């Protein structure tokens, strides 16, 4: 876990991750493959949740107090194309902020562990 903690710190902590999340949602909302999932979403609240979640996923403090991943995504019937689009946008957002590929891959491998919790619900 030490390398993951270093990744959270290396990226600049929650403040920088918040900027990554803002850019990530610009990409997501511009992508008609997945943007409709957020049509009725309070995006300010969504950004706060996602910042805390990604911070935790990258080894930061666990401040995420939202519902379980499977419960949050219940009824969405997310397919591989949707999950893959989200992963691509997260990759591109991290790259946009100068994160190197090794660190991006480390972050995305953490996200990948959630695939079964959100797909086909």
Say which CATH number the domain at 32 has.
Answer: 1.10.490.10
**Distance of alpha carbon 49 from its chain centroid, rounded?**
10
91 is in an annotated binding site: no
Position 1 pLDDT exceeds 50 = no
49 is in an annotated binding site: yes
Nearest to 38 by CA among 21, 55, 14: 21
Residue numbers of the domain that contains 16: 2-118
- The number of domains in the chain is 1
**Distance of alpha carbon 91 from its chain centroid, rounded?**
9
Q: Which residue has the tokens 């194309």?
A: 81
Position 75 pLDDT exceeds 70 = yes
- Label residue 5 by pLDDT band (50, 70, 90): low
Q: Which contacts of 63-69 are long-range, i.e. CB under 8 A and separated by 24 or more positions?
A: 68/117, 69/114, 69/117, 69/118
């Amino acid at each position: 876990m030490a390398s993951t903690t270093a990744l959270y710190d290396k990226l600049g902590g929650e403040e920088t991750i918040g900027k990554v999340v803002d850019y990530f949602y610009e990409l997501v909302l511009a992508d008609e493959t997945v943007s409709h999932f957020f049509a009725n979403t309070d995006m300010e609240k969504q950004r706060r949740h996602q910042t805390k979640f990604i911070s935790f996923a990258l080894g930061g403090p666990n401040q995420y107090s939202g519902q379980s991943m499977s419960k949050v995504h219940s009824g969405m019937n997310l397919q591989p194309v949707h999950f893959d689009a989200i992963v691509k946008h997260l990759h591109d957002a991290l790259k946009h902020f100068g994160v190197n590929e090794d660190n991006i891959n480390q972050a995305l491998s953490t996200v990948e562990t959630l695939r079964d919790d959100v797909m086909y619900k």
